[in-house]
Structure 1
């Protein structure tokens, strides 16, 4: 039974993290807001930590513009109602004027609340 629960949770986490990327591409901060925590932070490959509000403003003004992604590898580790997702994507994005196909690794911390996985924070590095 435990394996079934974890497998279902793993699928829900993969779905949520993929949805997050699709919403970024779609410039849909209202949608993103439904799957990230109020205190969500995004740490960029530069080490700069952004609050959710600051990140949303960057998306809405297209200072950060996401075009497409190709998933390379994912892993999920679940411990009770907490999880860590690690995803490697080839992300086509323009960040502060620089467009590139970034080899981006996102490490996200999630928490299950009322049966739904919420992204607490995301840390980006390159791979």
Structure 2
């Protein structure tokens, strides 16, 4: 039996999230640029809301280096018509 729409969507979102995390670890700013919408912003643990372009620029300059990312729990909620 094929997976349900909700399960397929969950799997697609989870896979995309893991690709995003790997791109962060790899410092692959081109992949991150493609994965993230142009108007998105990231909120740091300090509360600073940083535009995507600024974040990617700082990554390219070596100001953000990710050495390890630990995925603890991912929750995906599927909304909308079935």
- Give the 3-state SS of the residue equivalent to 1:38 in structure 2: coil
Runs ≥4 residues deviating over 3 A: none
TM-score for the superposition, normalised by structure 1? 0.58
> Is the CA contact (8 Å cut-off) linking 1:24 and 1:59 kept in structure 2?
no
Report which of the two has the higher share of strand.
Answer: 1
Report which of the two has the higher share of helix.
Answer: 2
Structure of greater relative contact order (alpha carbons < 8 Å, 6+ residues apart): 2
Whole-angstrom CA distance in 2 between matches of 1:9 and 1:15: 10
Aligned residues between the structures: 79
Q: What is the correspondence of 1:81-120 to structure 2 with a 5 Å cutoff?
A: none
Q: Are 1:36 and 2:57 matched, yes or no?
A: no
Whole-angstrom CA distance in 1 between matches of 2:39 and 2:16: 17
- Give the 3-state SS of the residue equivalent to 2:62 in structure 1: coil
Q: Could you tell me how far 1:52 is from its partner in structure 2?
A: 0.7
Alpha carbon RMSD of aligned pairs, Å?
1.6
TM-score for the superposition, normalised by structure 2? 0.87
